[in-house]
């Protein structure tokens, strides 16, 4: 088991650095980056529930087009011109957006992120903390990234999810619709290996989601699925052959269904990745990540879930266990104000491990 999900690299002017997970940056308020310059859109895109394309989940830089347009993305030239944008948001609230390379000063773009310098950052000493001028992830050098909210339909109704991000009645997209979207993306952006980060709504309730994932895997893309863990053991066993799986654990549903349902589904995915090592198959490269969503008032059940996951999966490879906080429904960039000191102290102690 790994507790180290620290893929964000914070670099100071002397090239000393520290690393944090998105959850840690979130809980420690290290994602207040207004005024920084961001490369969103150059090697990353966000697709919303209706197929609209933006540089990032934050929406900075405006609308790029819609993947349901078979002619491709309308404003792709803005991205191909390699235009960095200045952040105007109070908080960089999404983990996918946090991972996009950023610089505090515009002049550092050419110093660190030209075609000649990208991938050649020779860092010095790892410190507990730094005053950063650069934030990036090494993954960004290896492949492009698309974060895709494939639909609002969800079988859960978490109180902290906004009405714009989930419902029970939206029509279900089919494989033909997914193929049209992929064709649109291929006209100017998906021209190399790409990591697709799928969320919703709940992706696994779409009957054609798994066939679409298989299609992407056949093209050697990387797939990362966020799920509420509500599907069947057999489903997650199969999905883990093709995709990283992030089990987003919502604590009120643990109270409703019991922790065993979720533990069994996590175990099924882990068993698939473990079998991949024995058989030397592709599934050995997929990760199983459990992200416990700590909402205010649920500290005791969060501690219990964390302890049981740590105990059951501590010997598992390709496994990450983390805890995250939730945002205000009416303002997705701000944390809920109802967290107690005990809740914040616990999550910071977990993420500091």
- Confirm whether 274 is domain-assigned: yes
Tens of pLDDT, residue by residue over 269-327, are 999 999 999 999 999 999 999 999 999 999 999 999 999 999 999 889 899 999 988 87
- Confirm whether 216 is domain-assigned: yes
Distance (Å, rounded) from C-alpha 70 to C-alpha 345? Answer: 49
- Confirm whether 58 is domain-assigned: no
Distances (CA, A) of 160 to 115, 163, 171, 232, 259: 42, 9, 23, 25, 20
Name the one residue in this structure whose structure tokens are 């779409």: 206
Say if CB 26 and CB 340 are below 8 A apart.
no
- Confirm whether 5 is domain-assigned: no
Residue 207 sits in a domain whose CATH number is: 3.20.20.70
What pTM, to 2 d.p., does this model score?
Answer: 0.90
Domain total in the chain: 1
- Confirm whether 12 is domain-assigned: no
Q: Identify the domain containing residue 185 by its residue range.
A: 142-351
Ranking 20-29, 112-121, 230-239 by mean pLDDT, the lowest is: 112-121
- Confirm whether 291 is domain-assigned: yes
- Confirm whether 99 is domain-assigned: no
- Confirm whether 17 is domain-assigned: no
| Residue 320 tokens, joined | 């990450």
Tens of pLDDT, residue by residue over 105-119, are 999 998 888 765 555
End-to-end CA, the chain: 13
- From the CA atom positions of the chain, what is the Rg in Å? 20
């Amino acid at each position: 088991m790994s507790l180290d999900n620290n893929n964000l690299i914070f670099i100071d002017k002397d090239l000393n650095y520290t690393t944090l997970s998105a959850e840690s940056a979130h809980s420690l308020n290290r994602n207040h980056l207004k005024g920084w310059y961001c490369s969103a859109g150059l090697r990353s895109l966000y697709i919303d529930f209706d197929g609209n394309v933006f540089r990032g989940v934050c929406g900075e830089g405006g609308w790029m087009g819609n993947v349901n347009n078979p002619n491709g993305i309308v404003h792709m030239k803005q991205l191909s011109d390699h235009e960095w944008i200045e952040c105007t948001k109070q908080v960089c609230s999404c983990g996918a957006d946090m991972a996009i390379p950023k610089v505090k000063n515009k002049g550092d773009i050419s110093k660190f992120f030209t075609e000649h310098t990208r991938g050649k950052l020779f860092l010095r000493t790892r410190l507990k903390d730094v005053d950063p001028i650069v934030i990036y992830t090494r993954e960004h050098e290896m492949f492009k990234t698309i974060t895709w909210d494939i639909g609002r339909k969800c079988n859960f109704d978490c109180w902290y999810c906004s009405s714009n991000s989930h419902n029970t009645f939206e029509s279900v997209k089919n494989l033909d619709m997914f193929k049209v979207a992929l064709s649109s993306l291929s006209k100017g952006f998906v021209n190399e290996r790409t990591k697709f980060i799928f969320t919703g709504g709940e992706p696994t309730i779409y009957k054609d989601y798994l066939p679409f994932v298989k299609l992407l895997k056949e093209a050697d893309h990387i797939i990362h699925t966020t799920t509420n863990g509500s599907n069947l053991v057999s489903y997650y066993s199969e999905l883990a052959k093709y995709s990283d799986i992030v089990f987003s654990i919502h604590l009120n549903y643990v109270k409703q269904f019991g922790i065993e349902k979720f533990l069994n589904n996590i175990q099924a995915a882990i068993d698939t990745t473990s079998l991949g090592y024995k058989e030397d198959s592709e599934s050995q490269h997929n990760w199983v990540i459990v992200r416990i969503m700590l909402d205010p008032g649920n500290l005791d059940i969060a501690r219990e879930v964390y302890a049981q996951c740590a105990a059951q999966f501590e010997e598992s490879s390709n496994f990450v266990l983390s805890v995250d906080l939730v945002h205000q429904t009416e303002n997705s960039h701000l944390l809920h104000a109802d967290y107690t000191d005990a809740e914040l102290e616990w999550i910071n102690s977990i993420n500091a491990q």
